[in-house]
């Protein structure tokens, strides 16, 4: 709609988890380093938390995109409102494991065979549970913990990532048996003012625009309104590009941004 007007090749502020739009702040790079280390060192389990809209899912999609498809088998589980048995069924489905039984023991045997086959074929198995804070059934968390019992010669047969909002950290801490298995942890924070500016301009460059569109004062107002939350920044900036296009402005200033905020968009 507005791409041609702003000389953009694509929309820069979509909230879909497209790895090419990951802004490599110091914090995001540290999170990437720690989580990739968990995979490379077969650490078993890692925990990534952060406020709503801080880029956790984008970070995990970036990690998945960086892994060689031939070397890794990945199950990406979202909105995990399952019972313990449904969790295992979903994992089997994600890995395309054809099981002939709905019996829990049989399903775990099939999963065990799959994991050992991967090891023999020099493949690494990864299970990512996104939005894990929505899990309310203790038995489901216990099932996740038991997945880490799949080991061989003190080496985990899989890497488990639990990803969610800050309350997930407290939930895990209240389950000592699971908490003790978490080898790598990271809490993703919101951007500060400087990263907010760099983030906006980075996404514009990725979308094909090298010249700034937002004034420094506009970005300051965006930061004050969003407190550096990437998803909220995207929402405001995308709408600003639409309205700026509609008003035929050449630059987006603080007055346009304040107008968006004041009208509740």
Q: Are residues 168 and 201 in the same domain?
A: no
Domain closes at, from 139, 166, 188: 188
Domain annotation covers residue 81: yes
Residue 53: per-residue pLDDT: 92
Does the residue 151 lie in any domain?
Answer: yes
Last residue of a domain, one of 188, 218, 252: 188
Whole-number pLDDT of residue 80: 84
The CATH number given to whatever domain includes residue 153 is 3.40.50.300
Of 214, 141, 216, 226, the closest CA to residue 175 belongs to 141
Helix axes of 230-246 and 216-226: crossing angle, nearest 10 degrees: 130
Query: Angle, to 10 degrees, between the axis of helix 216-226 and the axis of helix 193-206?
Result: 110
Query: Do 74 and 161 belong together in one domain?
Result: yes
What total of structural domains would you count in the chain? 2
In whole numbers, what is the pLDDT of the chain averaged over residues? Answer: 93
Q: Is the pLDDT of residue 151 over 90?
A: no
Its pTM stands at 0.91
Identify the CATH number of the domain in which residue 257 sits. Answer: 1.10.8
List pLDDT tens digits, range 101-144. Answer: 788 889 999 999 999 999 999 999 999 999 999 998 899 999 99
Confidence check: pLDDT of 161 > 80? yes
212 and 135 in a common domain: no
Domain boundary among 172, 188, 204: 188
How would residue 265 be classed by pLDDT, with cut points 50, 70 and 90? low
Domain membership flag for residue 10: no
Helix axes 26-40, 56-66, angle to 10 degrees: 50
Same domain, 161 and 91: yes
Whether 205 and 106 share a structural domain: no
Which residue range(s) make up the domain with 149? 26-188
Structural domain contains residue 1: no
Residue 3: inside a domain: no
Pair (35, 131) in one structural domain: yes
Do 101 and 157 sit in the same domain of this protein? yes
**Do 143 and 209 sit in the same domain of this protein?**
no
Same domain, 216 and 126: no
Query: 96 and 127 share a domain?
Result: yes
Residues 139, 224 within the same domain: no
């Amino acid at each position: 709609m507005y791409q041609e007007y702003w000389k953009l090749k694509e929309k820069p502020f979509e909230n879909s988890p497209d790895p090419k739009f990951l802004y490599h702040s110091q914090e995001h790079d540290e999170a990437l380093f720690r989580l990739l280390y968990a995979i490379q060192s077969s650490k078993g389990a890692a925990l990534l938390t952060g406020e709503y809209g801080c880029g956790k899912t984008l970070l995990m999609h970036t990690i998945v995109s960086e892994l060689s498809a031939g070397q890794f088998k990945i199950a990406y589980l979202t909105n995990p409102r399952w019972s313990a048995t449904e969790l295992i069924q979903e994992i089997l489905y994600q890995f395309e494991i054809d099981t002939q039984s709905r019996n829990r023991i049989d399903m775990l045997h099939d999963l065990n065979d799959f994991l050992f086959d991967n090891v023999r074929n020099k493949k690494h198995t990864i299970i990512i549970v996104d939005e894990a804070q929505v899990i309310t059934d203790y038995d489901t968390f216990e099932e996740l913990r038991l997945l880490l019992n799949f080991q061989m010669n003190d080496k985990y047969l899989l890497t488990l990532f639990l990803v969610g909002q800050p309350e997930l950290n407290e939930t895990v801490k209240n389950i000592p048996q699971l908490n003790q298995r978490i080898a790598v942890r990271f809490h993703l924070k919101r951007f500060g003012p400087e990263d907010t500016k760099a983030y906006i301009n980075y996404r514009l460059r990725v979308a094909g625009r090298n010249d700034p569109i937002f004034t420094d004062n506009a970005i300051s107002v965006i930061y004050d309104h969003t407190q550096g939350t990437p998803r909220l920044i995207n929402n405001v900036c995308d709408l600003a590009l639409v309205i700026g296009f509609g008003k035929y402005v050449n630059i987006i200033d603080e007055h346009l941004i304040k107008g968006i905020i004041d009208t509740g968009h």
